Amino acid sequence: MRQYTDCAFVADNLSSDTLKEIGIQNCDVVIICIGEKVDVSVLTTMSVIEMGVPRVIAKALSPEQGAVLSKLGAEVVYPERDMALRLGKKLLSNNFLEYVSLCNQVEIRQIEVPNHLIGKSIEETEIRQKYRLNIIAIENGDETNIEVMPEYRLRQGDIIVVIGKVDNIDVFVNEV
């Protein structure tokens, strides 16, 4: 963690005195990664917010814990839940490698180019017309092309990065 920030602290004793002693009040952002001990998580979050830290991000394991942390003023993250959802989605489909959900209905996904599209130009695939998807990048090995031209011919090993409505991406992925 220290490679990404000027100061990072790991503390076992999370009393207000300890937090002040390590200078937590001088931080721009504090991430509280206590999920299992709800009482400690809530009290630590409350203390850090009361000390005036501008941005507090707290881990929650349940919606109830998240609701309390949110009411205190923390941004709440659910890493275990989010990773389980992500893994479940990947297990349901072998046709995509990675995805980013922009909202409930829009995603960016990496999809291996199906065999029947190899050798076709982007224009010939009609991905935009048929599925209403936009190809925003093509990856192959260590190369990433973000200036995708209609005449580009898809090659073996290409991975297309598409953006579109989840339903449209699912139709495309299930048809290939």
Give the pTM: 0.61
Show the DSSP H helices in 52-165 as ranges: 63-72, 79-92, 122-125, 127-131
Alpha carbon of residue 159 to chain centroid: 19
Q: CATH assignment of 2-78? A: 3.40.50.720
Helix (H) or strand (E) holding 161: strand 159-165
Class of domain 93-175: alpha beta
Task: Tell me how far apart the alpha carbons of residues 112 and 139 are, in angstroms, rounded to a whole number.
Answer: 9
Are 2-78 and 93-175 equal in CATH topology?
A: no
- 64-78: per-residue pLDDT in tens? 999 999 999 999 999
What pLDDT digit, counting tens, does each position of 136-173 carry?
A: 999 998 899 999 999 999 999 999 999 999 899 989 98
Domain boundaries, the chain: 2-78, 93-175
Find how far residue 127's CA is from the centre of its chain: 25
